[in-house]
Protein backbone atom coordinates (compact mmCIF):
# COMPACT_ATOMS: atom_id res chain seq x y z
CA UNK A 1 0.00 0.00 0.00
CA UNK A 2 1.33 3.43 -0.94
CA UNK A 3 0.56 6.26 1.47
CA UNK A 4 0.64 9.73 -0.05
CA UNK A 5 1.49 12.57 2.31
CA UNK A 6 -0.68 15.61 1.71
CA UNK A 7 0.40 18.74 3.56
CA UNK A 8 -1.79 21.10 1.55
CA UNK A 9 -2.63 24.21 3.54
CA UNK A 10 0.12 23.62 6.09
CA UNK A 11 2.88 26.14 6.80
CA UNK A 12 6.38 24.92 7.60
CA UNK A 13 9.40 26.91 8.78
CA UNK A 14 12.79 25.36 8.03
CA UNK A 15 15.91 26.93 9.51
CA UNK A 16 19.13 26.37 7.62
CA UNK A 17 16.75 25.89 4.72
CA UNK A 18 18.74 27.41 1.88
CA UNK A 19 21.11 24.47 1.38
CA UNK A 20 21.97 20.94 2.44
CA UNK A 21 19.48 18.87 4.39
CA UNK A 22 17.36 21.94 5.12
CA UNK A 23 16.97 22.66 1.43
CA UNK A 24 15.94 19.07 0.77
CA UNK A 25 13.33 19.17 3.52
CA UNK A 26 11.95 22.49 2.29
CA UNK A 27 11.62 21.06 -1.21
CA UNK A 28 9.93 17.91 0.10
CA UNK A 29 7.43 19.86 2.18
CA UNK A 30 6.53 22.08 -0.76
CA UNK A 31 6.17 19.04 -3.03
CA UNK A 32 3.69 17.67 -0.46
CA UNK A 33 1.71 20.91 -0.72
CA UNK A 34 2.94 22.91 2.28
CA UNK A 35 3.82 26.57 2.12
CA UNK A 36 7.39 26.96 3.34
CA UNK A 37 9.52 29.62 4.97
CA UNK A 38 13.17 29.16 4.06
CA UNK A 39 15.26 30.69 6.83
CA UNK A 40 19.02 31.15 6.98
CA UNK A 41 21.42 33.97 7.68
CA UNK A 42 21.68 35.41 4.15
CA UNK A 43 18.58 36.93 2.57
CA UNK A 44 19.76 36.41 -1.00
CA UNK A 45 20.32 32.69 -0.42
CA UNK A 46 16.88 32.38 1.19
CA UNK A 47 15.22 34.24 -1.67
CA UNK A 48 16.97 32.10 -4.30
CA UNK A 49 15.96 28.84 -2.62
CA UNK A 50 12.37 30.03 -2.11
CA UNK A 51 12.09 31.09 -5.75
CA UNK A 52 13.37 27.71 -6.95
CA UNK A 53 10.91 25.89 -4.69
CA UNK A 54 7.98 27.95 -5.92
CA UNK A 55 8.98 27.47 -9.54
CA UNK A 56 9.32 23.69 -9.22
CA UNK A 57 6.23 23.03 -7.06
CA UNK A 58 3.85 25.94 -7.62
CA UNK A 59 3.59 26.36 -3.85
CA UNK A 60 4.27 29.71 -2.23
CA UNK A 61 7.64 29.85 -0.50
CA UNK A 62 9.26 32.86 1.11
CA UNK A 63 12.77 33.51 2.29
CA UNK A 64 13.46 35.11 5.66
CA UNK A 65 16.93 36.05 6.84
CA UNK A 66 17.33 34.88 10.41
CA UNK A 67 20.20 34.10 12.76
CA UNK A 68 18.85 31.46 15.12
CA UNK A 69 21.70 32.07 17.55
CA UNK A 70 20.25 35.52 18.18
CA UNK A 71 17.59 35.50 20.92
CA UNK A 72 15.52 38.32 19.44
CA UNK A 73 16.05 37.08 15.90
CA UNK A 74 14.04 33.96 16.71
CA UNK A 75 11.03 36.08 17.64
CA UNK A 76 11.41 38.06 14.44
CA UNK A 77 11.39 34.87 12.35
CA UNK A 78 8.14 33.75 13.96
CA UNK A 79 6.59 37.18 13.44
CA UNK A 80 7.65 37.20 9.78
CA UNK A 81 6.06 33.79 9.23
CA UNK A 82 2.79 34.83 10.84
CA UNK A 83 2.79 37.99 8.74
CA UNK A 84 3.33 36.00 5.54
CA UNK A 85 0.99 33.06 6.13
CA UNK A 86 -1.05 33.74 9.26
CA UNK A 87 0.02 30.58 11.07
CA UNK A 88 2.71 27.95 11.68
CA UNK A 89 2.06 24.20 11.54
CA UNK A 90 5.58 22.77 11.45
CA UNK A 91 8.88 24.11 12.75
CA UNK A 92 12.05 22.34 11.65
CA UNK A 93 15.08 23.37 13.71
CA UNK A 94 17.71 22.31 11.19
CA UNK A 95 20.30 25.11 11.31
CA UNK A 96 23.60 23.94 12.76
CA UNK A 97 27.32 24.63 12.78
CA UNK A 98 30.37 22.58 13.74
CA UNK A 99 33.41 24.89 13.82
CA UNK A 100 36.73 23.07 13.61
CA UNK A 101 39.44 23.36 16.23
CA UNK A 102 42.94 21.94 16.59
CA UNK A 103 42.59 20.42 20.06
CA UNK A 104 40.32 20.50 23.08
CA UNK A 105 42.79 22.84 24.75
CA UNK A 106 42.56 25.27 21.82
CA UNK A 107 38.78 25.71 22.05
CA UNK A 108 37.98 29.34 22.72
CA UNK A 109 35.04 30.69 24.64
CA UNK A 110 33.83 32.37 21.45
CA UNK A 111 33.85 29.07 19.52
CA UNK A 112 32.11 27.26 22.39
CA UNK A 113 29.42 29.91 22.76
CA UNK A 114 28.81 30.24 19.01
CA UNK A 115 28.40 26.46 18.66
CA UNK A 116 25.91 26.26 21.51
CA UNK A 117 24.08 29.40 20.38
CA UNK A 118 23.20 27.96 16.98
CA UNK A 119 22.82 24.26 17.83
CA UNK A 120 21.05 24.44 21.20
CA UNK A 121 20.06 27.90 22.35
CA UNK A 122 18.50 28.76 18.99
CA UNK A 123 16.23 25.70 18.75
CA UNK A 124 15.19 26.14 22.38
CA UNK A 125 14.33 29.80 21.89
CA UNK A 126 12.63 29.30 18.54
CA UNK A 127 10.49 26.47 19.90
CA UNK A 128 9.54 28.53 22.94
CA UNK A 129 8.36 31.51 20.90
CA UNK A 130 6.79 29.49 18.07
CA UNK A 131 4.92 26.87 20.09
CA UNK A 132 2.32 29.19 21.65
CA UNK A 133 1.44 30.47 18.17
CA UNK A 134 1.43 27.13 16.37
CA UNK A 135 -1.70 25.35 15.21
CA UNK A 136 -3.05 22.51 17.34
CA UNK A 137 -1.73 19.20 16.04
CA UNK A 138 1.44 20.88 14.82
CA UNK A 139 4.95 19.52 15.01
CA UNK A 140 8.39 20.71 16.07
CA UNK A 141 11.20 18.73 14.47
CA UNK A 142 14.76 19.12 15.72
CA UNK A 143 17.71 17.95 13.64
CA UNK A 144 20.44 16.47 15.77
CA UNK A 145 23.47 14.36 14.91
CA UNK A 146 24.83 10.93 15.74
CA UNK A 147 27.77 12.85 17.15
CA UNK A 148 25.50 13.39 20.16
CA UNK A 149 25.82 9.69 21.04
CA UNK A 150 29.18 8.95 19.34
CA UNK A 151 31.26 12.02 20.22
CA UNK A 152 34.87 12.39 19.14
CA UNK A 153 37.63 14.66 20.39
CA UNK A 154 37.40 16.63 17.16
CA UNK A 155 33.67 17.41 17.47
CA UNK A 156 33.19 17.45 21.23
CA UNK A 157 31.61 20.91 21.49
CA UNK A 158 29.20 20.25 18.62
CA UNK A 159 28.37 16.81 20.00
CA UNK A 160 27.61 18.24 23.43
CA UNK A 161 25.26 20.84 21.94
CA UNK A 162 23.44 18.21 19.90
CA UNK A 163 23.16 15.97 22.97
CA UNK A 164 21.45 18.89 24.67
CA UNK A 165 19.09 19.14 21.70
CA UNK A 166 18.15 15.47 22.15
CA UNK A 167 17.38 16.21 25.78
CA UNK A 168 15.23 19.28 25.24
CA UNK A 169 13.23 17.35 22.64
CA UNK A 170 11.96 15.03 25.35
CA UNK A 171 11.20 17.90 27.72
CA UNK A 172 9.47 20.02 25.07
CA UNK A 173 7.33 17.04 24.11
CA UNK A 174 6.08 16.97 27.69
CA UNK A 175 5.69 20.74 27.88
CA UNK A 176 3.69 21.14 24.66
CA UNK A 177 1.80 17.86 24.47
CA UNK A 178 -0.89 16.98 23.65
CA UNK A 179 -1.36 20.10 21.51
CA UNK A 180 1.97 19.72 19.67
CA UNK A 181 4.40 16.90 18.92
CA UNK A 182 8.17 17.33 19.33
CA UNK A 183 10.65 14.88 17.81
CA UNK A 184 14.25 14.76 16.67
CA UNK A 185 15.94 13.41 13.57
CA UNK A 186 19.40 12.27 14.66
CA UNK A 187 21.20 12.51 11.35
CA UNK A 188 24.16 10.42 10.34
CA UNK A 189 26.60 11.05 7.48
CA UNK A 190 24.93 12.74 4.52
CA UNK A 191 26.53 13.92 1.30
CA UNK A 192 25.79 17.63 1.56
CA UNK A 193 28.01 20.56 0.62
CA UNK A 194 30.15 20.13 3.74
CA UNK A 195 30.84 16.44 3.14
CA UNK A 196 33.95 17.23 1.12
CA UNK A 197 35.78 17.70 4.41
CA UNK A 198 35.34 14.05 5.44
CA UNK A 199 34.14 12.02 2.44
CA UNK A 200 37.50 10.51 1.58
CA UNK A 201 38.60 7.16 0.17
CA UNK A 202 39.49 6.11 3.70
CA UNK A 203 36.00 7.01 4.95
CA UNK A 204 34.33 5.14 2.11
CA UNK A 205 36.41 2.07 2.88
CA UNK A 206 35.48 2.23 6.57
CA UNK A 207 31.81 2.71 5.65
CA UNK A 208 31.77 -0.72 4.04
CA UNK A 209 31.39 -2.10 7.57
CA UNK A 210 28.26 -0.01 8.26
CA UNK A 211 24.92 -1.85 7.93
CA UNK A 212 24.03 0.05 4.72
CA UNK A 213 27.66 0.50 3.69
CA UNK A 214 27.52 4.14 2.59
CA UNK A 215 26.68 7.75 3.35
CA UNK A 216 23.16 9.06 2.81
CA UNK A 217 21.87 11.10 -0.09
CA UNK A 218 20.38 14.43 1.05
CA UNK A 219 16.93 13.46 -0.21
CA UNK A 220 16.95 10.45 2.11
CA UNK A 221 16.23 12.73 5.07
CA UNK A 222 12.90 13.78 3.56
CA UNK A 223 10.79 10.74 4.38
CA UNK A 224 11.47 11.04 8.10
CA UNK A 225 10.91 14.80 8.06
CA UNK A 226 7.57 14.37 6.29
CA UNK A 227 6.54 11.60 8.69
CA UNK A 228 7.21 13.73 11.77
CA UNK A 229 5.36 16.70 10.25
CA UNK A 230 2.32 14.82 9.01
CA UNK A 231 -0.66 13.00 10.50
CA UNK A 232 1.22 9.73 10.07
CA UNK A 233 3.02 10.54 13.34
CA UNK A 234 0.06 11.57 15.49
CA UNK A 235 1.09 9.10 18.22
CA UNK A 236 4.82 9.84 18.07
CA UNK A 237 6.41 12.48 20.30
CA UNK A 238 9.55 12.83 22.39
CA UNK A 239 11.36 10.51 19.98
CA UNK A 240 15.00 10.77 18.89
CA UNK A 241 15.19 8.77 15.67
CA UNK A 242 18.53 7.90 14.08
CA UNK A 243 18.58 8.28 10.30
CA UNK A 244 22.13 7.14 9.75
CA UNK A 245 22.31 4.01 7.61
CA UNK A 246 22.65 1.95 10.78
CA UNK A 247 25.82 3.63 12.01
CA UNK A 248 24.62 3.88 15.62
CA UNK A 249 23.52 0.24 15.56
CA UNK A 250 27.20 -0.68 15.64
CA UNK A 251 29.17 -1.11 18.85
Residues catalogued as catalytic? 145, 158, 162
Q: Which contiguous run of DSSP H or E holds residue 164?
A: helix 156-176
Which has the closest alpha carbon to 114: 158, 166, 169? 158
Cβ atoms < 10 Å from Cβ of 44: 10
Rounded Cα distance, 179 and 195, in Å = 37
Strands 134-145 and 88-93: parallel
For residue 2, give every residue at least 6 positions away whose Cβ sits within 8 Å of its Cβ, in sequence order, or none: none
Q: Are 229 and 90 in contact (CB under 8 A)?
A: yes
139: which DSSP letter?
E
Amino acid sequence: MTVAIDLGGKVAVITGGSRGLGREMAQAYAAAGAHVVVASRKQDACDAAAAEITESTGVKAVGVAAHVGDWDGCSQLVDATIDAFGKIDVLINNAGIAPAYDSIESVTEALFDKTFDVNLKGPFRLASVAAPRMEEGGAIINVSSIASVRPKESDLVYAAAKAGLNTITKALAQAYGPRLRVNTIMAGPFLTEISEAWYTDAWRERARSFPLGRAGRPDEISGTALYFGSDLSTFTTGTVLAVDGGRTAMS
